[in-house]
Amino acid sequence: DIQMTQSPSSLSASVGDRVTFTCRASQSISSHLNWFQQKPGRAPKVLVFGASTLQSGVPSRFSGSGSGTDFSLTISGLQPEDFATYYCHQTFYAPITFGQGTRLEIK
Amino acid sequence: EVQLVESGGGSVKPGGSLKLSCVVSGFTFSTAWMTWVRQAPGKGLEWVGRVKPNVDGAATDYAAPVEGRFTISRDDSKNTVYLQMNSLETEDTAVYYCACFGQGAWGRGALVSVSS
């Protein structure tokens, strides 16, 4: 199975900050990498698919990059509604696997 | 608007069965690969399995922990995907989400609790 490792596991930041999360795959997954945001009791919200394509309706302050094994998600200019947990997952091989998540907290 | 709505969750004893449904709207269900993902309390996300479109024989793939116990099926006439769960174990306690990764869409989840 492909292992997905996210870092950091948690991050404290302030409104207006620029933050970057990373996700590393244990083997190459080309660009088959998605990012989504999860808030308690809510449906996961997809932010980026195909490593760098912004899902329709997602604000442009979110951006994704990377290919192969190393990927990142950047939020430029944090808004209050952005404080949540962020996950990456690969869709290149079954079983589909997820990172353990990065919890973004208000400083 | 794309919507996925799960139902059928509840409490069951170990060894019991439960069937979840997920009704889809807002996109062409018949060509969609549909996936089930679960999240145990306080834990990360775990892929359960998926079903391909009928044009691909509605082929299914499952995660090792559920292989042989869980069955995913679809009914294109009802825009619905199902997750039949048999021989449930306490470790199967989780919120179960249905998702269509191709549409970037997830449901809100259904809670399944397995305890004696």
Interchain CB distance below 8 Å, A94 and B61:
yes
Q: Annotate chain B with DSSP letters as a single string.
A: --EEEEE--EEE-TT--EEEEEEEESS-GGG--EEEEEE-TTS-EEEEEEE--GGGTT-EEE-TTTTTTEEEEEEGGGTEEEEEE-S--GGG-EEEEEEEGGGTEE---EEEEE--
What percent of chain B lies above the pLDDT cut of 90? 95
Residues 36-95 of B with CB under 8 A from A: 44-47, 50, 61, 63-64
Residues of chain A neighbouring B4 (CB-CB closer than 8 A): 43
Quick one: which of B29, B32, B70 has its CA closest to B48? B70
Mean pLDDT of chain A: 95
Please judge whether B106 and A46 are an interchain contact, meaning their C-beta atoms are less than 8 angstroms apart: yes
Please check whether residue B107 touches A, CB under 8 A.
yes
In chain B, whose CA is at the least distance from the CA of A86? B44
pLDDT at B42 exceeding the cut of 90: no
Q: Is the pLDDT of residue A41 over 90?
A: no
* Per-residue pLDDT tens over the stretch A56-103: 999 999 999 999 999 999 999 999 999 999 999 999 999 999 999 999
pLDDT in tens, B45-102: 999 999 999 999 999 999 999 999 999 999 999 999 999 999 999 999 999 999 999 8
Any idea which of A11-15, A43-47, B111-115 has the lowest mean pLDDT?
Answer: A43-47
